[in-house]
Every structure is written in structure tokens, then in C-alpha cells.
Amino acid sequence: MSSSTEIVGVIPARLGSTRLPRKVLREIRGRPMVQHVFERAQRCKRLTKLVVATDSDEVADVCQRRDIPVEMTSPLHPSGTDRLFEVITHHSGDIFVNIQGDEPLIDPAHLDALLTPFEEHAGTEVSTLRIAITTEEARNPNVVKVVCDESGHALYFSRWPIPFDRDEKGRAPYYKHVGLYAYRRRALEQFHGWLPSKLDVSERLEQLRYLEHGVRIFVAETTVPTVGVDTEEDLRAVEEILRRCEAA
């Protein structure tokens, strides 16, 4: 990846979430969640530009009042990746980073880890992250697990605890998938042209669509934890983490 490579960060921010309604506008320590995500992602100096992509006039208004670049996108997109595809039609750029709007603890180290494979492995089309977790965490179907080959490419993603610990010796390594992605432009164009695949529909995990079409996903490992906000409990956990950080 050359110094002239243009890297665009996109924060999909849909207002109509189901498990935690209006979550991207829920306040954490006095600021809406989407502002936390933007400000933390902005610390990554490798991003050429950073924009919020939303289907909500209310989210757009909140962003504009806080000088956060924002673009309106169609409310009909079935996934954040499809929303990201609409954004790339308006921008030049070589690599696009999908930064979830419900990751208020995102760290620049996460984005650096996402982008490094494009520098070190010329054939990288898609990258994402994983972090080691406990067996107890792996049993939670809301935590997406990933298993990888020896070169760091994803073999499979699942809500089921994989790999299966057949002998119950507690030695199975479990990794949580951290739902941040970086894509080359052509990888997003391919995704947009495919119908949802069988595994994608079964697991409700859109990244499986790439694996089913033979596109490899490099999974970089991180040791920096984050909390994706899907529930009130998650929101309270993030609030407490930020409270402790501010008090330190």
C-alpha cells in the first residue's frame, strides 16, 4: 500500500435498530454514541477522510450540529455493507473502512490492525479483527466467533462456539469476531452484486457471503478490547468504562 493510497472511513449509523432502538443517538457521558465513534475513529491518522452514513434526518441533524461529516443514504439497505457501497459511489478511494456506529470504544489500534494487512499482503481484499475470549463468552450466541487458518485467513464465522471442544478438556482456542472491516473498492462492488448466500442467511452473518464466493478475509488479531452496543447492559458497561477513564 503506497503513501498515495486513499483510505475512507465510513460509519454506518442506522437509527432503526431493533434490539436497542435509536442506539446511535443514545447519550453516553453527555454525548450521542455516534459522536463517540467519530471522535475516536478520527484519531487514526491513516484515514484520508471519515464520514457518517445514515438513513435518518435526525442522525444527520445531530452530526451537522457537531461538525461531523454526514451523508444521507437509502433506508432500503439490508446491511451496513450495502450502505457502505452507496457511499463509495460518491467518493474516490482505494480502501474503505466500515466502522460500526455502535462501537463507542473503538481505538486507533483497531483501525491500524485492519489496514496493516493491505501493506504486508498485496493480495488482501478484505480484512477484519479477532480477539481471544473465554469459553463462557464463546457460548453466547450474540458473540460471533471466528476460526482461522495458519496464515490468518478466516475459515468460518459462527454464532455457535467454534471450534467444538469434543473432549471437553478446555483447550479449544476461542476468538470473538470484532465487527470492523476494511475493503478494497472492488470487493465492495462484488458484494453488492451478490444475492445473500445460504450460510449468510442461516447464520445472519453477511461476511460469510465472501467466503462462499471464494474471497479470503484476513483476520488480524488485537488485544485491545471493545464493546459493541446492542443492549441496555452494553450501554451501561460502556458508560462505566468511560467514567473510570475520565476519573483516572
Do 156 and 50 share a domain, yes or no?
Answer: no
Specify the pLDDT at position 173: 94
Q: In this prediction, what percent of the chain has a pLDDT beyond 70?
A: 98
Look up the domain containing 76 and give its range. Answer: 1-106
Provide the mean pLDDT of the chain: 92
Do 55 and 77 share a domain, yes or no?
Answer: yes
Do 111 and 58 share a domain, yes or no?
Answer: no
Does a structural domain hold residue 19?
yes
Does a structural domain hold residue 244?
no
Residues 6 or more apart from 146 whose CB is under 8 A from it? 128, 130, 154, 156, 157, 158, 175, 176, 177, 219
Amino acid at site 135: T
pLDDT 10s digits, 113-132: 999 999 998 899 999 999 99
Do 98 and 120 share a domain, yes or no?
Answer: no
The CATH number of residue 41's host domain is 3.90.550.10
What is the domain count for the chain? Answer: 2
Cβ atoms of 191 and 100 within 8 Å: the answer is no
Strands 174-184, 95-98: pairing kind: antiparallel
Do 15 and 124 share a domain, yes or no?
Answer: no
Do 205 and 154 share a domain, yes or no?
Answer: yes
Do 115 and 101 share a domain, yes or no?
Answer: no
Do 81 and 143 share a domain, yes or no?
Answer: no
Specify the pLDDT at position 1: 59
Strands 49-54, 7-13: pairing kind: parallel
Do 130 and 206 share a domain, yes or no?
Answer: yes
pLDDT 10s digits, 170-186: 788 999 999 999 999 99
Does a structural domain hold residue 243?
no
Do 111 and 220 share a domain, yes or no?
Answer: yes
Distance CA 226, CA 171 (A): 24
Do 58 and 33 share a domain, yes or no?
Answer: yes
Do 73 and 124 share a domain, yes or no?
Answer: no
Residue where one domain finishes, among candidates 106, 121, 137: 106
Residue bearing the bigger pLDDT, 10 or 227: 10
Q: Read off the pTM.
A: 0.92
pLDDT 10s digits, 150-164: 999 999 999 999 999
Question: Which DSSP state fits 13?
Answer: E
